């Protein structure tokens, strides 16, 4: 039964002459580099949320020792999160054709019988299930999070985070076992690069090579070019999301469009609108809105006019979302967070701060910032952007902006700042 070429378990069932160690090795080595970058930028992205600072920041509270690497995310360079997340998402999308081609190139192995020849072989096949399943899971959850208002059952963050560890463990084991052979295959005899004509009997015993290959319709290089072209196309239709201006319109695959930001000083990408967040104009008018600031010496309540009497400072900072999109630097103007800390008794050494918005529901209605982020002179409670008052959708009357931080920490519609013990 094993050799009946009508069954996928038979080597003769798989007839593409493209399959072979060279093709699989090239794709495997591209993924080795690419997925390593995805793993590192993914872990960094989690660290950038300040998850160890306060429970409200931590979307994966049960991570245990998987948080061993967390560190205080810096405020320099100010485009750090923009770069990290742009690379993570754009590279992830770009690698989709490479991943699919790699899986296609080894699919005969998935069906090979017997399921296990030995204990070692059984363990290897189980690890391959984790590898393939993990890869598909990470790419699918990532794309869904970027493209849709999240539809996956369960929260994206823990799924993608735990999935990454399981997947990367299997990936590291696989890479350790296979990279030496893959490198050898690339240096191997040239003639393996091109598909064997159908008439020529298969030589060697590599299980990837079909024993009865069909007639080639494309060379292996041609097939690689096709995969590379697909990757390039995805890159070209994604990368524009990390810019603004005309290039942004090339980002056809950028996150779910969002509301049209329009033009003018406030004409840059909007994540959640004021309407979506349930912010009513009556709450944000200068007559009703108050900023409540609490710290060592008690609580002060400031009107917008009070805030405007404090020294105003400017900072050029981007908004960079976990979804991969970002804006170029916007020109924010407002009160320094450390000046607000000083108002309530933290003159010399500003502490951490807990920021709350007018929003009543939603995971990002509040966030905690580190002492180092509060202390940075570019960290503002912004009232203006690009010379104009903040629009309702960008957080009017006041929002936080912090250099190098992810968008989630740039709370909009701020109502309350609590300095000190979180
Ligand atoms: N109150 C509040 N602030 C918020 C959010 C939110 O949902 N509620 N979303 C955050 C996220 S995820 C991002 S990426 C930025 C986007 O800011 P923008 O819409 O001005 O571009 O706002 C942040 N501030
Ligand atoms: Mo975001």
Q: Give the pTM.
A: 0.94
Whether residue 87 sits in one domain with residue 193? yes
346 occurs within a structural domain: yes
Ligand nearest to the CA of 258: 1
Instruction: For residues 321 and 281, give the distance between their C-alpha atoms in angstroms, rounded to a whole number.
Output: 26
* Per-residue model confidence as pLDDT tens digits over 31-57: 999 999 999 999 999 999 999 999 999
Q: Higher pLDDT residue, 254 or 90?
A: 90
User: Which of the listed residues 410, 411, 414, 417 should we mutate to test ligand 1's pocket, taking the one with most ligand atoms within 8 A of CB?
Assistant: 410
User: Which of the listed residues 269, 272, 318 should we mutate to test ligand 1's pocket, taking the one with most ligand atoms within 8 A of CB?
Assistant: 272
90 occurs within a structural domain: yes
Instruction: For residues 10 and 1, give the distance between their C-alpha atoms in angstroms, rounded to a whole number.
Output: 8
Tokens for 86, please give them.
Answer: 């742009």
The counts of H helices and E strands in the chain are: 11, 10
User: What mean pLDDT is predicted for residues 111-119?
Assistant: 89
Ligand 1, residues at Cβ distance < 6 Å: 269-272, 277, 319, 321, 357, 359, 362, 364-365, 394, 407-408, 410-413
Whether residue 287 sits in one domain with residue 187? no
Whether residue 390 sits in one domain with residue 307? yes
* Per-residue model confidence as pLDDT tens digits over 99-110: 999 999 999 988
125 occurs within a structural domain: yes
pLDDT at 302: 98
Alpha helices (H) along 188-303: 220-236, 281-284
Q: Look up the CATH number of the domain holding residue 329.
A: 3.90.420.10
Residues 6+ apart with CB under 8 A from 257: none
Residue 354 bridge partners (DSSP): 368, 418
Nearest Cα residue to atom 16 of ligand 1: 271
DSSP symbols for 264-277? STT-S--SS-TTTT
* Per-residue model confidence as pLDDT tens digits over 224-274: 999 999 999 999 999 999 888 788 888 887 765 567 888 899 999 999 999
> 406 C-alpha vs ligand 2 centroid, how far in Å?
7
Residue 291 bridge partners (DSSP): 302
82 occurs within a structural domain: yes
Nearest Cα residue to atom 24 of ligand 1: 411
> 271 C-alpha vs ligand 2 centroid, how far in Å?
7
User: Which of the listed residues 334, 382, 412 should we mutate to test ligand 1's pocket, taking the one with most ligand atoms within 8 A of CB?
Assistant: 412
Domain containing residue 367: 281-419
Q: How many domains would you assign to the chain?
A: 2
Instruction: For residues 101 and 278, give the distance between their C-alpha atoms in angstroms, rounded to a whole number.
Output: 45
Whether residue 312 sits in one domain with residue 179? no
């Amino acid at each position: 039964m094993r050799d009946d070429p009508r069954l996928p378990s038979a080597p003769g069932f798989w007839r593409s002459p493209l399959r072979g160690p060279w093709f699989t090795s090239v794709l495997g080595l591209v993924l080795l580099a690419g997925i390593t970058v995805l793993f590192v930028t993914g872990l960094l992205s989690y660290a950038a949320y300040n998850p160890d600072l306060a429970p409200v920041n931590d979307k994966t509270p049960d991570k245990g020792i998987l948080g061993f690497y967390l560190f205080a995310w810096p405020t320099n360079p100010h485009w750090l999160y923009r770069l990290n997340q742009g690379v993570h998402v754009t590279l992830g999308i770009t690698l989709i054709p490479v991943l699919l081609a790699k899986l296609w190139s080894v699919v005969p192995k998935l069906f090979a019988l017997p399921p296990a020849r030995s204990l070692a072989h059984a363990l290897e096949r189980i690890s391959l299930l984790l590898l393939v399943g993990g890869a598909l899971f990470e790419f699918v959850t990532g794309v869904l999070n970027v493209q849709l208002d999240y539809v996956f059952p369960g929260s994206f963050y823990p799924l993608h985070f735990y999935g990454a560890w399981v997947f990367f463990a299997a990936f590291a084991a696989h890479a350790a076992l296979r990279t030496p052979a893959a490198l050898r295959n690339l240096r191997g005899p040239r003639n393996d690069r091109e598909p064997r004509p159908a008439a020529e009997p298969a030589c060697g015993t590599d299980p990837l090579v079909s024993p009865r290959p069909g007639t080639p319709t494309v060379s292996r290089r041609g097939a690689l070019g096709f995969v590379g072209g697909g990757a390039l196309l995805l890159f070209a239709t994604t990368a524009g999301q990390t810019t603004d201006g005309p290039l942004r319109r090339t980002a056809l695959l950028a996150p779910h469009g969002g509301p049209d930001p329009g033009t003018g000083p406030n004409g840059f990408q909007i994540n959640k609108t004021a309407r979506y967040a349930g912010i009513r104009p009556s709450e944000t008018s200068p007559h009703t809105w108050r900023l409540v600031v609490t710290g060592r010496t008690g609580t002060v309540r400031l009107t917008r006019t009070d805030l405007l009497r404090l020294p105003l400072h400017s900072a050029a900072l981007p908004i960079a979302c976990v979804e991969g999109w970002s804006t170029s630097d916007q020109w924010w103007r407002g009160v320094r967070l450390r000046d607000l800390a000083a108002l309530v008794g933290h003159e010399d050494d500003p502490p951490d701060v807990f920021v709350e918005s007018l929003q009543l529901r939603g995971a990002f209605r509040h966030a905690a910032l580190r002492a180092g982020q509060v202390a940075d002179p570019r960290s503002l409670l912004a009232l203006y952007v690009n010379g104009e008052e903040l629009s309702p959708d960008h957080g009017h009357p006041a929002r936080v902006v912090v250099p190098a931080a992810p968008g989630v920490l740039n709370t909009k519609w701020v109502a309350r700042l609590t300095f000190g013990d979180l």
